[in-house]
Amino acid sequence: MAATRLIALHLNKGKTLAQCLAARVNYAQNPDKTEQGSLVSSYACDPRTAAEEFLLSKREYDQKNPKGKSFHGRDVIAYQIRQSFKPGEVSAEEANRIGYELAMSVTKGKYAFTVATHTDRAHIHNHILYNSTRIDGNGKYKDFWRSGLALQKTSDLICLQHGLSVIKPLPYHLRQKRTTYPRGVSFREQIRADMNRFLLRNPSGMDELLQMFKEAGYECKSGKHPAVRRGDQKRYIRFSSLGEDYSEAKLAARMSGDGSSKDRKSRNHKKNRTDKPFDLLIDIQQKLRSGKGAGYERWATKFNIKQMAQVLLYLQENNIRDYDTLVMISDESSGNYRELSGQIRSLESRLTEISELKKQILGYAKTREIYSEYRKHGYSKRFFEEHREELTIHKAAKEYFDQHGIRKLPKIKDLNQEYGELLQQKKELYTQYRKTKEESRQLQLARRNVDTFLGLDQNESQKKEQVKEQ
């Protein structure tokens, strides 16, 4: 991918605004560096008069905003993006097109810009210069927090769509020890995901498995009940508490190759789906780069390149580099989402029960005296007709209490307190629910796209068709 950097340009001491703009534009468009100007493109301005046109927009802004028309040394007069490409991977013409696409994505067509591609060094690089004042003179470009990261991500996405390579991952022993997971993934889910990833490397026994956890940044306890914890955990978590498949006996069987038929079937199934272990990032990168060769157009008509580029960035950001880890995390995220959904439904059911119970208690209390009078009148039909509504409410409340086995009515104050506590729990769960729902959606989308991209879903559909035919 291209390395990008956003630079805010200010007034230089002792120089006018016009002089500073001219100096920046002239440096970027140096004929000796841009193949005599053939590698310069622009938007909403002429490259030859870009500095003057930038200045005109600023003067128009000054007329519309007289209070802020004076420029000081701290004021930003323009922004520059430096975009450098891997040597030998891209032509100068393509680099200029990529730079133009990046500039348009950043400015949204509201700011004039020029793109100058330099070829005077081993690595081709772009100097993208865009005005800090809008074309219509009605506003200024507002930089934002972490804009550099957003710019790099946008640049990466565009480069991937053009079939450029991703940054080569470091060897395992040089990678960051701590694996990064999407928000909302619990400690136990993280340990299970890491456990399955380590088991794929076929450790010889528990000691080697624990050593893998140590290399990944865990603190470990060996002995009768192996346990691990991360730096931000308070307590150690035993392997046996992770589930039946993670007991000491099951782990020993899996490491020795004597697992159950179910385990072997599961491993064989995964092996058939992936054929061989692969790094998702590298595999996807190679497919995207196939755009340089024959047959790419036929493949591209069946898949959305932009969507796959976004998936690749998502996998990078969450350090998901193999298919089994993607499956594990997506399944656990879906399970977490379903569990939260069940908890919220349970809370909502109880909140409904409390609301109905309060309604019946209040109705019962308000009509108690009327019912006592009704009894005193010997259940008179005339009295009933005169107080039909109140007596009906009272009867309905008594039937409700009988149906739910309520012998002693709770206090309204206690019900209100319980309702408030449950409502707060629901609010807190909803915050986690929304995050988990979005993370689960992204993981499932990434998994489906990877299946389609690598042809795994096609294999599955073929198997289903074969079963139907049989």
List, for residues 342-380, the tens digit of each pLDDT value.
999 999 999 999 999 999 999 999 999 999 999 999 999
Strand order in the sheet with 219-221: 219-221, 227-229, 237-238
The answer to which of 183-197, 294-308, 323-337, 397-411 has the lowest mean pLDDT is 294-308
pLDDT tens-place string over residues 119-176 = 998 889 999 999 999 999 999 998 887 788 889 889 988 888 887 865 544 443 334 4
Calpha distance 43→103 (Å, rounded): 9
Calpha distance 125→128 (Å, rounded): 10
The model's pTM: 0.54
Residue spans of the domains in the chain: they are 3-150, 182-260, 329-460
The chain-wide mean pLDDT, for the chain, equals 81
CA-nearest of 417, 413, 366, 370 to 391 is 370
- Residue 260's pLDDT is 44
- Residue 47's pLDDT is 95
Q: Tell me what the mean pLDDT of segment 222-242 comes to.
A: 86
Q: Tell me what the mean pLDDT of segment 228-249 comes to.
A: 84
pLDDT tens-place string over residues 254-305 = 887 654 434 444 444 443 433 333 455 555 666 656 554 444 454 455 456 6
pLDDT at residue 414 is higher than 70: yes
| 3: β partners | 84
- Residue 447's pLDDT is 87
CA-nearest of 319, 270, 287 to 450 is 287
> Which range has the top average pLDDT, 181-195, 245-259, 280-294?
245-259
Q: Tell me what the mean pLDDT of segment 33-48 comes to.
A: 96
| 133: β partners | 140
Q: Tell me what the mean pLDDT of segment 428-440 comes to.
A: 89
Q: Tell me what the mean pLDDT of segment 217-233 comes to.
A: 85
Q: Which residue has the higher pLDDT, 193 or 115?
A: 115
Q: Tell me what the mean pLDDT of segment 10-38 comes to.
A: 93
Calpha distance 20→11 (Å, rounded): 6
CA-nearest of 202, 237, 444 to 329 is 444
CA-nearest of 58, 57, 105, 61 to 81 is 105
- Residue 143's pLDDT is 85
Specify the CATH number for 3-150; select among 3.40.50.2300, 3.30.930.30, 3.40.190.10, 1.10.8.100. Answer: 3.30.930.30
Residue tagged 């008509």 (tokens): 301
Percent of the chain with pLDDT over 70: 79
The answer to which of 15-19, 405-409, 458-462 has the lowest mean pLDDT is 458-462
- Residue 273's pLDDT is 39
- Residue 258's pLDDT is 58
